[in-house]
Amino acid sequence: MTFGQQLLDAAASRGRLCVGIDPHAALLAQWGLGDDVAGLAEFSRRCVEAFAETVVLVKPQVAFYERFGAEGFRVLEQTLTDLREAGCLVVADAKRGDIGSTMAGYADAWLGETSPLRADAVTVSPYLGVGALRPVVELAEQTGRGVFVLAATSNPEAVELQNHVGTDGRTIAQQVVDECASWNAGHEGAGNIGVVVGATLASAPDLSNLNGPVLMPGVGAQGGSAEDVARIARGVEKLAFPNISRAVLSAGPEVADLRKAAEAAAGDFPGADECV
């Protein structure tokens, strides 16, 4: 089964919300935890307990673990393991991107069957050329795991680059989406290769031919709404998986409050059967 189909099936009962695990220093302090490995571990444990059986997808931000070095990666490994064992789909927000054997190494690190960092999907950057991502795409196809390729992100610094129009009349963002669509073309249902498209964008690429999942950050604290998600993903709304992090995590530190906030947010994004 493809990663895209796994998401659609799970969304039927859990809705389409993705919640981030973002243990940055300010949030650790807000939760009364130390800005250290012990605080990182406790923050992650509470998030796993709150979200693993609540939402369709959980997205740990790798940078907030990486800053603690080897000990931080050990916490991340445990967090990924705990999420998977609870039956939750998880995307490692690593945003890796390179060429050749180096890209193959990143692919194996995040999607490889024996890797302690194995996730169900990983975010990658296409700005060394979409074709340079082939090693991670091929591994995703072999394993039924997912890749989310940055296409049109929600940060304002990216707009000029991603909206640059090439000689064929397509923006760079649209070129990225179209190349991802070509990788999914062999699947009858939703494929393994998704894209990242910000929910705050006034103008977004056409997603109608992607045939893969769309991760949509920017909902909640950044100003994106359920209406924005529906507008950008019109016609393929069932494939849009909005990401909310700060607006849910600010409900912490109690697990029950986090779970309640996630459930309330997920109610705005029902599964495929309820999408218009």
Q: Which of 59, 95, 238, 260 is catalytic?
A: 95
Between CA 165 and CA 225 the distance in angstroms is 27
Structural domain spans, the chain: 3-267
Q: What is the pLDDT of residue 223?
A: 76
Between CA 134 and CA 245 the distance in angstroms is 30
- Report residue 25 CA to chain centroid gap: 21
Q: Which residues contact 136 (CB under 8 A, 6 or more apart)?
A: 96, 103, 104, 106, 107, 110, 111, 122, 124, 147
How much is the pTM? 0.95
Report yes or no: 4 and 194 within 8 Å, Cβ to Cβ: yes
Between CA 266 and CA 260 the distance in angstroms is 10
Q: Work out whether the CA dihedral 198, 194, 237, 249 comes out positive or negative.
A: negative
Query: Directed axis angle between helix 37-51 and helix 69-85, to 10°?
Result: 10
Catalytic residue flag (residue 95): yes
Report yes or no: 174 and 165 within 8 Å, Cβ to Cβ: no
Domain 3-267 has CATH 3.20.20.70: yes
The DSSP secondary-structure symbol of 107 reads H
Question: ∠ CA(60), CA(122), CA(190), 5° rounding?
Answer: 120
pLDDT in 10s for each residue of the chain, 276 residues: 999 999 999 999 999 999 999 999 999 999 999 999 999 999 999 999 999 999 999 999 999 999 999 999 999 999 999 999 998 999 999 999 999 999 999 999 999 999 999 999 999 999 999 999 999 999 999 999 999 999 999 888 888 888 899 889 999 999 999 999 999 999 988 999 999 999 999 889 999 999 999 999 988 767 788 999 999 999 999 999 999 999 999 999 999 999 999 999 999 998 865 554
Q: One-letter amino acid identity for 21?
A: I
Q: What is the pLDDT of residue 276?
A: 45
Q: What is the pLDDT of residue 4?
A: 97
Between CA 10 and CA 243 the distance in angstroms is 16
Q: What is the pLDDT of residue 163?
A: 86
Between CA 89 and CA 238 the distance in angstroms is 17
Q: What is the pLDDT of residue 274?
A: 55
- Report residue 223 CA to chain centroid gap: 18
